[in-house]
Structure 1
Amino acid sequence: MRPDRKTSPGLFCIGVALLLLAGGQIARAKSKPAPASQETGFLNRKVVIKGVTYKFQIYLPEDFRRDDRKQWPIILFLHGRGERGGEGMWQTQIGLPLQVRDHPERWPFIIVMPQCRYPNFWTDPEMLTMAIAALDQETAELHADPLRTYLTGISMGGYGAWELAKMYPRKWAAIAIAAGGPFWSYAPERWQQAATLPGEYARAVGRTPVWMFHGSEDNVVPPREAELMYTALKANGNVRLWIYQGLHHDSWARAYNEPELPKWLLAHRLNPKPEPQPATERLLIPIHPAPQKLPPAILDALVGEYRDSAGHIAATLFRQGDQLLEKDPHGEITELEAESQSSFFYPNGSVWTRLVVERDAQGRVTGLVFRDDRHEEKWERTKTVARTP
């Protein structure tokens, strides 16, 4: 039988003391608050109003820091009718949030994106109150710059933006509205005030800079709404109106993709000194530039097979009569139009997409650069192909 092992009373007491000391250190380590992680990008938020909790989202640029006390410009974005709900996220799938995902480098702003509850509208008083509460909450928490607070909205959110512009006229450094106006589609009787209603908004807004965007073929929010607001504002205000020729309701995709828009916002601050003089601009913006007709010899110089950097066929260009065409690797044929001798666009494609011709020192075509608003690809010319009659 194995003899019993006896422990000295002194050693037992030392062991207990060491265990208690270690336990205290562990407890203190657990109770010490961990450093807050630095979160950027799209983040969940909540605001509580009269006992009701509303979920929404904010966007923080990648280089935002909570501890540097830097005052960032801040935008309040109001979504359209189709993004209403209670989950707090649908509004990030369209308009400004979508363009921020594509081009974060263009948008050095904190962006507050509240969500209108279904079946409410942004013009309902409780929804406007919630939107302002969300903006004020985030402005305070994130130390945003109250002199660089901007307002924007699309469609139904454009209706709401006009209401907030009128209700809080001294809050906004600048306002940008796409496919919006003061005549709500769900309140057709407001058109009976067409002679007076735009003037009411214009008097409230004063000289706050306003940039409106609208599609010429918008049959949801008629372009006349923007035209009436432009007329009312131009007498004494600072207003721009860009009408996109041929576009329907979805003018915001083009508007928020304008590289000038975020720069225009940042160029304005609340209560500038001296106050800017009235300025107006109304432009009709074509979807595509007017095409140029190039001589057959120039088109023939472009005919050929082009491969990407991995050696795969990216496109084959050929000519039919005076028309240049492109065949993709799947056999789909697309028409090309000339913007110049070195730049071509797709008349049935994206407004931002271009094929740019590369030439050597002797002027021979060596390749193409496919470029859209997000990236570019270089295609090397490998061989010519016969003209298709």
Structure 2
Amino acid sequence: MHRILRLLAACLCFTWGMAPLLLCAAPKAKESRKHPPQETGFLNRRIQIGTTWYRYQVYVPEDWHRDEQKPWPVILFLHGRGERGAEGMWQTQIGLPEAIRDHPERWPFIVVMPQCSIDRYWTDKDMLAMAMAELDEETAEFHGDPARTYLMGLSMGGYGSWELARQHPTRWAAIAIAAGGIFWSYAPERWLQASTLPGEYAQAVGRTPIWLFHGAEDKIVAPRQDELLYTALKTAGGHVRLWVYQGLKHDCWTRAFDEPELPRWLLLHPRETQEPQPFAERISIPLHPPALKLTPTQLDSFAGEYVDKRGLVVVTLFRQGDLLYQKNHYGEIAELAAESTSVLFYPNGSSLTRIDVERDSQGRVTGLLLRDDRHEERWERIRAPLRTHSQD
């Protein structure tokens, strides 16, 4: 018995002694990354100017690589009055940063996002100097392309963008401003120069391509500001677009910066030795398309219950008189209108959302495809039209 116990003890000692060697010989787990990690996305930054530290953010696209020397386009973005502060992050909540989060694939840019101090304005000289210092800092670090450096701003940031456009007219390849102007709300006396001031800015920026956006119902920054600037730029032979959104108030930037054409337009205008040709375009964009008048029979053809891919009823469509309505699974009712016989929209809701109508070979409605600026969702029709909801 003692002999057996001594043998077992010897075996255990041998096993424990070999364990480290067995672990070393075991194959190592594969690395989870093919490349060393690097910082991309929205990054915290800070800069010291004099004795003051300023916090800000820079956006770096996911496919940027530090070991590549490829020059990248750069945007300097100035936020509005409500995003002022000292934490360096609040300015990333609306406007261009929001558009980037929704569609990063559209924005292959290094984006520098300064933050104006809480008790200051972007038109203050030291705030503009701070923004330019941060732009220089990030351009150097992330291989920014001087020939593709762009300027964007909204609201109070639009005021600041016009000042930077005027002070550094050769720095910018193109400029995009939403709900901005040159007649500052905190300096109403500037309106006394309404007959001359727009022309001075137009002369300063020359033919730098500028795209202006404004809501027709804006009560905070009057659309007249952009109308005066547009006229001055057109008269001076500038390169300008003005898009006026009907039905929108001060916040036109959400719609403007979601325009798929905007980032492409910026990249079409690198800063060249030869000036762009004179160009002027003013477009008034309706909030919704004209509604197509459908017959009761056509409206009834949409009526029914529609389910998602899990089989849950998502919406019910029904007619009342000459109107079509949608009731969702929360019991909320919204009117639907027809852009065409195969496309519906919400006349009292989002201007971007559309519902594509799917039909079989006999023309019967079989499903709906909800699409907006960010996603698509299909609903399948499961029942015959519910005529109990109809009222002729």
* Both structures adopt the same fold (TM-score exceeding 0.5): yes
Counterpart in 1 of 2:187?
A: 187
1:1-389 aligned within 5 A: 37-235=37-235, 236-273=237-274, 275-384=275-384, 385-386=386-387, 387-389=389-391
Residue 51 (structure 1) shift: 2.3
Please give the alpha-carbon distance, in whole angstroms, between the structure 2 residues aligned to 1:296 and 1:305.
18
Please give the alpha-carbon distance, in whole angstroms, between the structure 2 residues aligned to 1:314 and 1:354.
16
Please give the alpha-carbon distance, in whole angstroms, between the structure 2 residues aligned to 1:83 and 1:36.
35
Aligned length: 354
Please give the alpha-carbon distance, in whole angstroms, between the structure 2 residues aligned to 1:45 and 1:350.
36
CA separation of 1:302 and 1:44: change in aligned 2, threshold 3 A:
same
Deviations 1:161-210 (A, max 9, x none): 00000000000000000010010000000001111111111011000000
Runs of 4+ aligned structure 1 residues displaced above 3 Å come to none
What percentage of aligned pairs have identical amino acids? 65
Secondary structure at the counterpart of residue 146 of structure 1: strand
Deviations 1:306-357 (A, max 9, x none): 0000000010000011101001011111100110001111112111111110
Secondary structure at the counterpart of residue 212 of structure 1: strand
Secondary structure at the counterpart of residue 127 of structure 2: helix
Please give the alpha-carbon distance, in whole angstroms, between the structure 2 residues aligned to 1:280 and 1:343.
33
Deviations 1:257-308 (A, max 9, x none): 11111110010011254x3210110011111111111122211111111000
Please give the alpha-carbon distance, in whole angstroms, between the structure 1 residues aligned to 2:121 and 2:276.
34
CA separation of 1:272 and 1:259: change in aligned 2, threshold 3 A:
farther
Please give the alpha-carbon distance, in whole angstroms, between the structure 1 residues aligned to 2:127 and 2:341.
53
5+ long unaligned stretches in structure 2: 1-34
Secondary structure at the counterpart of residue 94 of structure 1: coil
- Which region of structure 1 is more displaced relative to structure 2, 361-370 or 131-140? 361-370
Secondary structure at the counterpart of residue 240 of structure 2: strand
- Which region of structure 1 is more displaced relative to structure 2, 50-59 or 160-169? 50-59
Deviations 1:61-101 (A, max 9, x none): 11111111111101000000000000000000010001111
Please give the alpha-carbon distance, in whole angstroms, between the structure 2 residues aligned to 1:40 and 1:229.
37
Secondary structure at the counterpart of residue 144 of structure 2: coil
Please give the alpha-carbon distance, in whole angstroms, between the structure 2 residues aligned to 1:217 and 1:94.
20
Deviations 1:106-139 (A, max 9, x none): 1111100000001000000000000000001100
Secondary structure at the counterpart of residue 62 of structure 1: coil
Residue 154 (structure 1) shift: 0.4
Report the TM-score, using the length of structure 1 for normalisation. 0.90
5+ long unaligned stretches in structure 1: 1-34
Please give the alpha-carbon distance, in whole angstroms, between the structure 2 residues aligned to 1:66 and 1:201.
38
Please give the alpha-carbon distance, in whole angstroms, between the structure 2 residues aligned to 1:295 and 1:114.
55
| Residue pair 2:202, 2:232 contacting (<8 A) in 1 also | yes
Secondary structure at the counterpart of residue 263 of structure 2: helix
Please give the alpha-carbon distance, in whole angstroms, between the structure 1 residues aligned to 2:113 and 2:36.
23
Secondary structure at the counterpart of residue 72 of structure 2: coil
Deviations 1:138-175 (A, max 9, x none): 00111111100000100000000000000000000000
Secondary structure at the counterpart of residue 131 of structure 1: helix
Please give the alpha-carbon distance, in whole angstroms, between the structure 2 residues aligned to 1:156 and 1:127.
12
Secondary structure at the counterpart of residue 145 of structure 1: strand
Secondary structure at the counterpart of residue 349 of structure 2: coil
Please give the alpha-carbon distance, in whole angstroms, between the structure 1 residues aligned to 2:276 and 2:145.
21
Q: What's the RMSD between the two structures over aligned residues? A: 1.1
Matched letter for residue 240 of structure 2: V
Residue 46 (structure 1) shift: 1.1
CA separation of 1:257 and 1:155: change in aligned 2, threshold 3 A:
same
Secondary structure at the counterpart of residue 170 of structure 1: coil
Secondary structure at the counterpart of residue 158 of structure 1: helix
| Residue pair 2:209, 2:276 contacting (<8 A) in 1 also | no
Matched letter for residue 38 of structure 1: Q
Matched letter for residue 207 of structure 2: R
